[in-house]
Amino acid sequence: MSFDLQKILQGKRALRKNLTARPIAEKLRMLDAMRERELAIRGQDRLLTNEPAALKETPPPFKSKTGEEK
């Protein structure tokens, strides 16, 4: 594995050109395959319930200088 930044950037450009040149049908097949892998990794039930991917906390109520909640 090379950590040469120029080689990494050149490889990324080549990959992008390769993907750009592919027909739309092949890109859609690739997208379907990625979606199937996502379902396998995360579990299909989680994606169908519209749960957020990350946990969210409710911030504490804002208190003004007078002490009243807003």
> Above 70 in pLDDT, residue 52?
no
Residue 2 scores a pLDDT above 90:
no
CA dihedral of residues 32, 35, 40, 43 (deg, nearest 10): -140
How confident is residue 36, by pLDDT bands cut at 50, 70 and 90? very high
DSSP 50: T
> Is the predicted pLDDT of residue 70 greater than 60, yes or no?
no
The model's confidence at residue 37, banded by pLDDT at 50, 70 and 90, is very high
Give the pLDDT band of residue 44 (cuts 50, 70, 90).
Answer: low
3-class SS of residue 9: helix
What are the boundaries of each domain within the chain? 5-48
